[in-house]
Amino acid sequence: WMATRLDGISRKGRVEMALKVVALDPGYGSTKSAFNKKAALIQTAVSRVRDMGMSTIGMRSAGRHAHIVTVGEDTFSVGEGAWYKGDLSNTLDYASIISPARMAVFYATLAQIAEPQDFTEPVFLVVGLPVALLESSEADAVVDSLRKLKREHAFTVDGKDYKFTVERIRKFAQPVGAYFNYFYDENLKMRPGVKGKEVAVLDCGFNTLDLYAIIDSEVMDTYVGGADVGVKLLIESIHKNGHSICELDSRLRGGTLKPTSEQLTEWVGKIMGNIKTRDERNIDFKRFDVVLPVGGGVVVAGDKLRDALLARGANVHWSDDPILDNVNGFLKWGLRSLSN
């Protein structure tokens, strides 16, 4: 599933139907969506809403900030505080990406940037998938299962009814989105000076670190890989007190769970130690014209990661919003592919 050519733009001159482009980056820490030049994210925390009857009368819910999503007969609580509304349905199982619970998180995220009346045309869905998944024995089954998303989607988010039909789907490895975001400007034109450059994307998410190197929209197979050294590893080293990993992740985001400088240094050391080629050789960052650190882990690691990369000779391009780079890039690619 690591397609050699990434641009995928039709040059056959056929007339395309009118489509709305929606981008989806279903991360294990945060689910990101982009639509109509806007992007949003919600913590990937989801539970089935528990019927409490009248037992909470006179009390305010601790989970009141979570979004309520109804799909058919199922009602889910999504985002921060979902753990207060019912038992969490979160799983790191790759096959869960299109489960009803994970789809509810996608719907809640999309509803932050789209109104029901926006979907007057069918949807072209561009999806980013983890490199670790695409290298696993589950890849064929999971990627094939995405075909089930080509259907009508009807759901309610916080009282608003949405309905759209997915007409077309395109899949990429998640770090490819960051490359597209770097390669194309806001007008979907190639940025000056990027042609011919070797670009290495380091995508540090909740569960994994992914390395993905590209030159002129072509994958450099030698420099594709990953390891389970994402933010989850840091959280587990800080605090284990009976709270779910989602709750601890929320506290880390909110600043109430703070790693020490020593804990951050140790974690960044594990990240750097796992950036290797497919045959387990250490990477010489000097060979790349640009290194793009992206993902939520990049925000957490901050200057410690930047300094470690610079010390290894990397020409680091640190974006303004590394968490949304992947999904913004997928939106650009989708819009550009339709315009061509």
List, run by run, the mean pLDDT of 10-residue segments along the chain (340 residues).
Answer: 41 60 95 97 92 68 87 94 87 78 96 97 95 86 92 97 97 96 95 94 93 93 88 88 88 93 96 79 90 96 96 95 97 93
Do the Cβ atoms of 122 and 83 come closer than 8 Å? no
Instruction: Please give the pLDDT value at position 280.
Output: 66
Distance CA 212, CA 167 (A): 29
Which position has the token pair 């294990």? Answer: 28
CB 41 within 8 A of CB 32: yes
Phi and psi, residue 111, nearest 5°: -65, -15
Angle between helices 261-273 and 296-311 (to 10 degrees): 70
Contacts of residue 275, Cβ cutoff 8 Å, sequence gap at least 6: 202, 209, 211, 282, 283
SS3 for 124?
Answer: strand
In this prediction the pTM is: 0.91
C-alpha dihedral sign at 188, 168, 35, 206: negative
Amino acid identity of residue 319, one-letter, is S
Q: Which tokens in the block code for residue 60?
A: 């305010």
Phi and psi at 194, nearest 5°, equal -90, -20
73 residue type, one letter: E
Beta bridge pairs of residue 33: 24, 40
Q: Which amino acid is at 109?
A: T
Cβ proximity of 102 and 26 under 8 Å? yes
Which pLDDT score, from 0 to 100, does residue 225 have? 84
Residue 239 to residue 68: CA distance in whole angstroms: 29
Which whole-number Å values give the CA distances from 272 to 71, 227, 293, in the listed order? 42, 11, 12
Angle at 325 between CA 231 and CA 141, to 5 degrees: 70
DSSP, residue by residue, 208-270? -EEEEEEETTEEEEEEEEEES-SHHHHHHHH--SS--HHHHHHHHHHTSS---HHHHHHHHHH
pLDDT at 54 (0 to 100)? 67
Residues sharing a CB contact under 8 Å with residue 10, sequence separation 6 or more, in sequence order: 16, 337, 340
Structure tokens belonging to residue 281 = 């050789």
